[in-house]
Structures are given as C-alpha cells and as structure tokens.
C-alpha cells in the first residue's frame, strides 16, 4: 500500500503563498508530491483563496500551532506570510522547533532604491509618524489599516489612507479612505499623487510587485517616501526568496519524508509551552 502524500502547512496571506499553493496543489498525485493546507489569519473580509485545502483563523499562539502540527500530521511548514507579520513568523519558528518539523521561510526581497528616489528609511511606524511633520502635510499612507493609531496625534496633517477593508478608530482626524486592493499601475498612482496633492508617501518595505508602482510614481513626481524597514526573520530558519526556491526545498523534503520522516532544521527558538 502506498504511503499518503506528505503534508505541508503553508502560512499564507501573500501573493507568493497563493502561487506556491497553486504549484504544490497542481503536482498533488504525482511522485514526490505534497498535500498542501494553506492557513489564513482571517483579517480580510473577502480573501483571495489559494488552491488546495484552506483553514482560516489563529492557532492560539506557538503552542496552539504546535498542537495543530501534531494533530494534522504535518511533515513540513512554509512560512510565506507578509514580511511584517512578525508574530506568526516567531510562533512558527517556536512551534516547528518544538515539534521537530522542518520550517522554511519564503520571503520576497525588499525594494531597492534607484537614482532619483528620495527615501527616508525608518524602523517603525512610530518613527515614520515622528518624521512626517518635517516632510509634508498631505500624506499618502499605504501601511494598511492596522497601525493607524500611531498617526492619530498628527492633527495638522491630512492623510490619504489606502486599505483593503475599512479602518477603525483610533485614526488620524483628517483622513480620506480609499478601499482598494492591488495590483496598482504607475499611471494610476501618479494620478492619485497629483489629484490629492500628496507631498509625502509612507510605505512598509513589503517588496511586493503588486504595490511597487507607487515608488516609481513618487520618484517621477519628486515625492519623498518614508520606508519602514522589515523586522528580521527568526534566527536560524532557512530562507528562500521565491516560489521556485520553496519548491526545490519541498522536493528535498519529500525524499526525507519518504525515508522515515523529515528531520528538523529549524534551528529556531524553543517552544513557549
Ligand atoms: P501577525 O501580527 O504576525 O500575527 C498576529 C496573529 O494572527 C498571530 O499570532 C496568529 O494568531 C494570527 N495569524 C497571522 N497570520 C496567520 C496565518 N497565516 N494563519 C493563521 N493565523 C495567523 O500577523 P499580521 O501582520 O496581522 O498579518 C496577518 C495576515 O495578513 C498574515 O497571514 C499576513 O501574511 C497577512 N498580511 C499582513 C500584512 C502586514 O502588513 N502585516 C500585509 C498583507 C498581508 P494565533 O497566535 O492565534 O495563531
């Protein structure tokens, strides 16, 4: 009797996670193939669903995730969450280490400035808020609806806030909300900057293709950009930059799973219990 396909849990919520789920799911049934379950946090009202099995909602911290890995006989975990989803990445590292399940981080590269860019790198949203009064009074804020409280004290500043779902208070008192989801075009972003007379843009360094057009538009319009740097990936966890790298890692793991179970190579922190 043939063994069931090994099971990979894919922590998602990104374009790359959806692309990886589609590729793994398409190969299901072939030799060395994996069964894939994607996990979404459930933050977005109408998420774009990945191919294959999908579960939605938190696990209950690192210990809850470790339990889920055991109960669902998970052979490998790929953390393909957003570069700023720091808590789930830390939880994945602890849960995988505690469960002796191999873990890979799939993190797309960050954006790189080019000549003409006027970037102001900062380490946090709070630092971005502190810099804004010196840079402009009409701000295009593209850091998402969470974290708006950080800008709530800037009463002299007008914000154009773009998010997928409506923001909730606390938020800046002077604000216009654009409910939109990428991909965005350079022409569209340039038109937005001009129409709203934006004099400074704030973004996280997500590195996403779908939202990079605003950086080109800002450069062309001479608009300064406050770029929030990424938090680090948990120490010791292997990392790849694209879907092809993740597929190659899985191919190696399929062999390990076939020959008596995978080996842990998380090297990450220990479980929080
Ligand atoms: P976070 O702060 O790192 O995580 C907070 C909690 O949300 C986690 O402790 C976990 O709850 C739950 N969670 C997060 N991602 C999950 C997933 N993929 N599956 C199941 N539970 C998850 O996360 P976040 O920054 O709020 O991001 C939430 C989701 O949105 C992520 O999947 C991320 O990929 C996506 N996203 C985030 C951003 C961003 O700017 N942060 C942008 C675009 C998309 P428990 O502790 O209960 O397990």
Q: Identify the pLDDT of residue 259.
A: 53
pLDDT given for residue 258 in this prediction = 57
Please give the share of the chain, as a percent, with pLDDT higher than 90: 87
- The tokens of 146 are what? 């969470």
Dihedral in degrees, nearest 10, Cα atoms 56, 168, 150, 118? 80
- Cβ pair 55, 38 in contact under 8 A: yes
**Strands, E assignment, 28-169:** 35-40, 53-56, 76-79, 103-106, 119-122, 138-141, 158-163
Question: Which residues approach ligand 1 with their CB closer than 6 A?
Answer: 11-14, 39-41, 43, 58-61, 64-65, 81-82, 84-88, 91, 144, 204
Residue 245 CB partners (closer than 8 Å, separation 6+): 106
Which tens digits make up the pLDDT trace of 47-78?
999 999 999 999 999 999 999 999 999 999 99
The three-point CA angle 126-131-137 to 5° equals 110
Atom in ligand 1 nearest the alpha carbon of residue 89: 3
- The pLDDT of residue 265 is above 90: no
Please tell me the residue having the least CA distance from ligand 1 atom 22.
Answer: 41
Residue nearest atom 45 in ligand 1 by C-alpha distance: 58
| Mutation probe of ligand 1 site: the residue of 15, 41, 125 with most atoms within 8 A of C-beta | 41
For residues 210 and 198, give the distance between their C-alpha atoms in angstroms, rounded to a whole number: 21
pLDDT band per the 50, 70, 90 thresholds, residue 45: confident
Domains defined for the chain, CATH in brackets = 7-109+232-258 (3.40.50.720), 119-228 (3.40.50.720)
Residues 183-233 pLDDT 10s: 999 999 999 999 999 999 999 999 999 999 999 999 999 999 999 999 999
């Amino acid at each position: 009797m043939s063994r069931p396909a090994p099971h990979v849990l894919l922590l998602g919520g990104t374009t790359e996670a959806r692309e990886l789920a589609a590729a793994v799911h398409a190969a299901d049934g072939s030799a060395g193939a994996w069964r894939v379950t994607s996990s979404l946090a459930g933050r977005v009202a109408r998420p774009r669903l990945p191919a294959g099995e999908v579960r939605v909602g938190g696990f209950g911290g690192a210990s809850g995730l470790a339990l889920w890995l055991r109960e669902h006989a998970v052979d490998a975990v790929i953390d393909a969450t957003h570069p700023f989803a720091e808590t789930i990445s830390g939880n994945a590292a602890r849960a995988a280490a505690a469960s002796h399940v191999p873990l890979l981080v799939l993190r797309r590269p960050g954006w790189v400035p080019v000549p003409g860019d006027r970037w102001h790198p900062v380490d946090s949203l709070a630092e971005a808020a502190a810099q804004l009064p010196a840079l402009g009074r009409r701000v295009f804020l593209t850091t998402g609806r969470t974290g708006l409280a950080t800008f709530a004290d800037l009463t002299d500043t007008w914000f154009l806030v773009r998010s997928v779902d409506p923001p909730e208070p606390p938020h800046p008192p002077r604000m216009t909300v654009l409910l939109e989801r990428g991909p965005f075009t350079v022409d569209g972003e340039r038109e937005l900057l001009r129409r709203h007379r934006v004099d400074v843009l704030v973004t996280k360094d997500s590195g996403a293709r779908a939202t990079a057009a605003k950086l080109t538009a800002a450069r062309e319009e001479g608009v300064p950009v406050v770029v929030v740097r990424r938090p680090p990936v948990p120490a010791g966890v292997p990392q790849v930059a694209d879907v092809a790298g993740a597929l190659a890692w899985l191919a190696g793991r399929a062999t390990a799973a076939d020959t008596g179970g995978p080996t842990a190579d998380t090297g990450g922190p220990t479980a929080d219990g």
